[in-house]
A and B are shown apart, each in its own frame.
Chain A
Amino acid sequence: MRKYFLIFIALIHLEIFSQIKQDTVFLKQVNVVETNNIENLALKVFKVDSLQLIESVNSDLGMLLTEYTPVFVKSEGRGALATVSFRGTATSHTNVLWNGISLQSPMLGQVDFSTIPAYLSDNIELFAGPSSIKTTSGALGGSINLENKPDWNNKFSVKFIQNIGSFSTFGDFLQFKIGNKKLQTNTKFLYNYSKNDFTFTNKNIADIDFQTGNYIYPVQKNNNAKYENFSLLQDYYVRISNNKSISLKYWYQNYQRSLPRLNTFEGDDYSNINIESNRNFKAVVAYQYFKNKFNIDVNSAFSFENLGYMFQNYVSGLGYFFISNSLNTSKSIYNNIDCSYKLSKTTNMEISYNFNYYNVSSIEYVKNEGYKAKRLEHLFFVMLNKQISNKISTTFILRKNFIDEKTVPFIPFFGLEYIVSQKNKLSLNSTLSKNYKSPSLNDLYWQPGGNANLKPEDAVSADFSVKYEPEFKKIDLKTNLTYFYNNVKNWIIWLPSVKGYWEPFNIQNVVSSGVELSVKIKLKLNNFLVNIGGNYSYTKSLNYGDTAIWGAEAYGKQLIYIPVHSGNFFADLRFKKYFLGYLNNSYSERYTSYSNSLSKRDWLYPYYMNNMYFGKDFNFRKFTFSSEFKIYNLFNEEYRSVLGRPMPKRNYLLTISLKF
């Protein structure tokens, strides 16, 4: 069996690497064997609960972050682009790593969180602010690590989930896990579709009733908003011997969606039609070897992404014609070799080297414009984790990057943890770093607008937190209060210009600072199991850019679309086999102009969203059958969260799942 399996891996290997004609390439650490916690000493890591991960089976990563983490997500609407702000930073400052590979497009330098199905990962961890340096560089806000892991105790299990929801929404999820102590395979299929054609009363346009002079608001459908997402994830894990293992992970994704027109649109019914289609695949091969105190990981990965965007109009007498038809292709290769050595029980050392290569091309066929670019990265990493005493532990990291043969200054990180009380689990933690983010390839070369003279963003970040996680008889409490501070120079932002198109600028200086509070309570009472928690963030993200460019009105003002107050609350109650959950996420008003001038017309009033779910599990021998009903926008509210986009009123999702 093992033999055949290795041949299979070899074949896939060949297929992948014949396409890239490159030597073997390696990537960041993949957990084949559970890593020891010593590597995360004094780091600020936020882990998404496995229960919450299961509850998010129908969600994309953006929705999961909204509901359970301190990260603010700006969504353009149901199924549409979702970008994030972690600790008041820009969306490009949050990196997402899938088994060590960055999901940030090398062209855009950012991630669309609506396109990542939450349930593809077995484990989700957030490395906040400076701590992100453990996983990547340039993630000034933080990094989100999505991991797939083997379950060595598994023999054979199948899971099937089907959901049906409002607005012709369907989802299918199928998972097979087969294996033994030496070999595991895990296959996941995921398919989501939504016509997304909800009905809404459009109060941004009106017809006049000429008899009464009153307005008649049209009732419209959210047309041209369909989305469809297919994913196939295949993992193989092999334990070659007690101290050697190899794994292969492969993820293919294909999604297509149309972006609806703004709700102020009253143009031709057949104009302003657009379709975005993305086909991408990623593969990671990892080899791990350890002996005594020594561990070596060798990883290589390949990522291919093809993003098409079509925008067309219909003109009577002429038919459909394209306004824009673009194809953006990126091929990325990631290599990593990572060695760690445990000097003692309290000291760990790690060094790693990454060699990454990106080759991108962007073509717009109507105007026949675009660019081609390559980028080469050599990334060096050294880490020392040391538990100085029972009370004090530290981590020190130093990164040195060479991007396109240009050297990026040293990226240092220092973390310190002090345990005040072992018994009450009260500890203080502080992290500090300097970080650099290089401009994305679009920032540099996009036609028109790209600016090859952009400087890398340059940040100093720090945080200080108090962690209190006492365990009582029936209550498990986890609280964390953090103060964070980021000072970013040369912050990159795209702005419209006098030329009629958008251009990126180094905005000079943004200071974001604030407080994060997170609370989780687990309660066991007789047959009741209660999980309650929430996150609150107070975020000031202030623009200290050059007043000659920004005008005095924008100096010291909050950046647009970043709320000062944001938070969520979740409660999950389980009684025997019944469960009931309530989710709320709220944020204060967001500004849409850099001078923070408020017009009611553009007012994004405070947002309070309420969702709930309830259901029941049924057991029958080895089978578990579960049904759940989820209600989104519980109070059937009419609201807006960005300008010009319709939002759905109350809607429902029924999920049934079967596993054995």
Chain B
Amino acid sequence: MKNTLLYTIILLLFLTSCMNDDVLRDFEKLNANENNEGVFILNEGSFMSSNASLSYYNTKTRDLINDVFYKTNALPLGDVAQSITINDSLAYVVINNSGKVYIINANTFKYVGKITGLVSPRYIQIINSEKAYISDLYSNAISVINLKTNTIYKQIISQNCASTEQMVMFENFVYVTCWSYSNKVLKINTLTDLIEDSILVTKQPNSLKIDKNGKLWVLSDGGFSGSSYGQDTSALTKIDLETFTIEKVFKFPDFDASPTKLQINANADSLYFIYNSWSATNVLNCGIFAMSIFDENLPENAVIEQGNRIFYGLGISKNSEIYVSDAKNFSQQSTVYRYNSMFQLIDSYDVGIAANSFGFK
């Protein structure tokens, strides 16, 4: 009996395994060489599911490839992809809940490097060929990166500003919005890496852009209804950068409106954003709003109506085409709509889960 038992155990141990995990990596890799104009669509994925992905759309041929990072590199992108920044031949993809930035070749999608050891990264701002800043949702600090080694070498502590969000650079300064439970825009001197100044704006500035006249436009969503931080009426703020003072505040008429994703065209004279609501109440005229930097008032109607869709990501191409994603319920494939500069639909296609931003090449 003892022997039978022993033999049985030995036999069982030598049986081959049933689950084949290697199938996730052993496949013919995508061998792309996309030298033409194209758009990266970054799909955030679901929080804690590590299912973020990157799609690529060739604007000329209208060919779409989903999941290009995984298909090329046999690695998942990570958990919660936040933003994509293209710098020459490289694309920097910030993966928020994976604490890292993947650097890929923008034509072949091959993974060429990464910046790791971050806390909760949100956006990357390239300062020059050697330096970049990475903002952070949770760390009270902006990480300064050496782009030659892709390592963090310094932290710019952002006191009284728990969350740093979007960044833009103008001359030698980087302007940063302090978004979550905050209401500030910081001014950082890129030569010294010191915060030189800050300015108070409407609660929760989520995005910012610089126009051709050197004015800074900051879009604030006003916060969430019911949050302990309180809610403001959302607003678009125009800041003069020479004096670093507020030139004009455009208050939105509806208290429950939550505008997001401020974008600007290549000429830097037209602003676009998503006009939506985070409250239970319905806000009228939701959709894509467009306005000239010379307009005296906020637009009243959407140029692209949202309808039943849930607009989440917005991008403006070099020729002023509008890309907007419908994230649906954030748990299935998003649909991206491409409109021409006259807001007529050109194309639509399905991408990954929760498409949140576009990277134009």
Contacts and interface: CB of A to CB of B under 8 A. Distances in A.
Nearest to B352: A599
A186 to B, nearest CB: 35
A636 B13 CA distance: 8
Contacts of A453: 280
A36 interface: no
A446 to B, nearest CB: 11
A318 B140 contact: yes
B198 interface: no
Contacts of A470: none
21 contacts: A264-B79, A266-B99, A267-B121, A268-B99, A315-B141, A316-B155, A367-B228, A496-B46, A496-B331, A554-B332, A582-B12, A593-B331, A593-B353, A597-B332, A601-B53, A605-B20, A605-B23, A606-B19, A635-B15, A636-B17, A643-B49
Interface string A306-319: 00000001011110
A156 to B, nearest CB: 34
Interface stretch (B109-117, B247-255, B289-297, B316-324): B109-117
Contacts of B78: 262, 264-266
A63 interface: no
Interface in B98-148: 98-100, 111-114, 116-121, 138-141
Interface string B47-59: 1111101000000
Interface in A265-315: 265-269, 271-272, 313, 315
Given A600-B70, A637-B18, A267 B50 contact: no
Contacts of A548: 308
B27 A262 contact: no
Interface stretch (A44-52, A200-208, A475-483): A200-208
A634 B11 CA distance: 11
Given A264-B78, A599-B67, A313 B53 contact: no
B229 interface: yes
A498 B276 contact: yes
Interface string B220-231: 000010111100
Interface stretch (B1-9, B187-195, B211-219): B1-9
A451 B280 CA distance: 9
A660 interface: no
A560 B12 contact: no
Main secondary structure of the interface of A (DSSP, over half): loop
B342 interface: no
Given A265-B97, A608-B18, A635-B17, A369 B278 contact: no
Classify chain A: how many residues form its interface, as a range: 35 or more
A599 B353 CA distance: 12
B157 A638 contact: no
Nearest to A582: B12
A204 B280 CA distance: 39
A595 B312 CA distance: 19
B47 A496 contact: yes
Contact of B118 (A268, A549, A593): A268
A452 to B, nearest CB: 9
Given A263-B50, A601-B67, A367 B99 contact: no
Interface in A347-384: 367-369
Given A315-B155, A601-B24, A644-B76, 15 more contacts: A204-B50, A204-B76, A266-B78, A315-B119, A321-B140, A496-B47, A498-B330, A553-B333, A593-B332, A593-B353, A599-B67, A602-B49, A605-B23, A614-B5, A637-B21
B99 A580 contact: no
A658 B308 CA distance: 66
B62 interface: no
A614 B227 CA distance: 56
B116 A575 contact: no
Nearest to B278: A499
Contacts of A603: 23-24
B301 to A, nearest CB: 20
Contacts of A575: 1
B269 to A, nearest CB: 28
A132 to B, nearest CB: 28
A344 to B, nearest CB: 54
B95 A264 contact: yes
Contacts of B48: 262, 644
Contact of A369 (B75, B227, B354): B227
A597 B350 CA distance: 11
Count chain B CB atoms within 10 A of each CB in A268, A321, A582 and give the residue with the most: A268
Contact of B333 (A268, A578, A593): A593
Contacts, number: 210
A315 B99 contact: no
A551 interface: yes
Nearest to A271: B119
Main secondary structure of the interface of B (DSSP, over half): loop
A77 to B, nearest CB: 12
A447 interface: yes
B228 to A, nearest CB: 5
Contacts of B70: 599-601
Given A267-B116, A639-B21, A595 B333 contact: yes
B310 A498 contact: yes
A313 B79 contact: no
Interface in B68-102: 70, 75-79, 95, 97-100
A640 interface: yes
Contacts of B329: 495-496, 505, 549-551, 554, 594
B181 A367 contact: yes
B19 A607 contact: yes
B76 A601 contact: yes
B79 A640 contact: no
B43 to A, nearest CB: 11
Contacts of A602: 49, 51
B16 interface: yes
A409 interface: no
A605 B332 contact: no
B154 to A, nearest CB: 10
B137 to A, nearest CB: 9
A301 B143 CA distance: 54
A204 B77 CA distance: 9
A266 B141 contact: no
A266 B117 contact: yes
Interface in A589-646: 592-595, 597, 599-603, 605-608, 610, 612, 614, 634-640, 643-644
Nearest to B49: A643
B330 A266 contact: no
A595 B226 CA distance: 33
Contact of B312 (A315, A498, A601, A639): A498
A390 interface: no
Interface in A545-586: 548-551, 553-554, 560, 575-576, 578, 580, 582
A369 B223 CA distance: 14
B331 A313 contact: no
Contacts of B333: 551, 553, 593, 595, 597
A137 to B, nearest CB: 29
Contacts of B157: 317-318
B161 interface: no
Contact of A553 (B8, B138, B330, B332): B332
A498 B97 CA distance: 18
Count chain A CB atoms within 10 A of each CB in B15, B18, B118 and give the residue with the most: B18
B89 to A, nearest CB: 17
Q: Which 6 A-B pairs have the closest CB atoms?
A: A267-B99, A644-B50, A496-B330, A608-B18, A264-B78, A266-B116
